[in-house]
Chain A
C-alpha cells in the first residue's frame, strides 16, 4: 500500500511541552511539506524540504522545527514557543519539480 502516513491521529500537548508529529511516505517522493489548518480556514505552509538534509521555512515557521534525515520521513516538532498550537496538521509530498502534492490524513493537535 503506497501513500503518506501521519501519526498519531490525535495528539495532546501540555503547557510548555514539545511534541513531535510523524510523517512517512513510501512514494519515493523527493519533496515533503508541512501545512497547518485552522478551523474554517485554508492551509498555511510551515516548512518544506526538497531534498534530504535540507529544508526551508514556510510562511508560519515560528515555534516549529523539522528534520529530514531520510527521504521517506519528515517529522515536525511543535515547540513550547508555539503559543497557539491547536490545529489540524497536514503533511504532503511530491515528486521533485512536479506539481501534484499528495496529502496525508492529518494529525489533530489539542492543548490540555
Chain B
C-alpha cells in the first residue's frame, strides 16, 4: 500500500501559536519524508525533510518529528505567522525505487493576526 494519510484537513491558529500537522504511512520501504508548502496557484516548495535515521529535525520555526515504529511523522510550526497561511503537504518516497513521491491529502493552515 502506497498511501500517506494526513490530518487535519484544515486548521486555524492564532498568530504566535503552534500549528501541528500529522501524517501516517504504510509502506515500510519509504526512507525519505519531505514537507512541502504551497500557496494558491503556485507550485509546492520544499520546506523541510527527514530521513528515518533521526527522530527530529529542526529548521528555524519548523520541526519534523518522526516515529519509525508507529510509522508516523509530524510537522510543527512554532510562532505561526500570517505569512505561514498556506497548504502543507507531507510526502514519502522510496529513494531506491526512483524517488517517486507519494503525497498526503494536504492541510490548509490559516494563521489569524
Task: Report which A residues bind B (CB closer than 8 A).
Answer: 4, 31, 33, 35, 40-45, 48, 50, 56, 58-59, 90, 92, 94, 97, 99-106, 108
Given contacts A45-B100, A97-B95, 14 further A-B contacts (CB under 8 A): A43-B91, A90-B44, A97-B99, A99-B93, A100-B49, A101-B34, A101-B99, A102-B46, A103-B36, A105-B42, A106-B41, A106-B42, A106-B43, A108-B41
A66 to B47, CA, bound (A): 29
Q: B99 touching A42 by the CB < 8 A rule?
A: no
Q: Which residue of B lies closest to A49 (CB)?
A: B98
Residues of chain B lying within 8 A (CB to CB) of residue A104: 43
A91 to B106, CA, bound (A): 18
For the complex of A and B, the 3 pairs showing the least CB-CB separation, nearest first, are A42-B103, A103-B43, A43-B103
How would you classify the secondary structure of chain A's contact residues: helix, strand, loop or mixed? Answer: strand
A99 to B100, CA, bound (A): 10
A48-B98, A94-B99 given; A42·B42 CB < 8 A: no
Q: A43 touching B41 by the CB < 8 A rule?
A: no
A58 to B103, CA, bound (A): 13
Q: Which residue of B lies closest to A105 (CB)?
A: B43
A4 to B44, CA, bound (A): 12
Residues of chain A lying within 8 A (CB to CB) of residue B46: 100-102
Q: In the assembled complex, how far is the CB of residue B59 from the closest CB belonging to chain A, in whole angstroms?
A: 13
Q: B34 touching A99 by the CB < 8 A rule?
A: yes
Residues of chain A lying within 8 A (CB to CB) of residue B91: 42-43
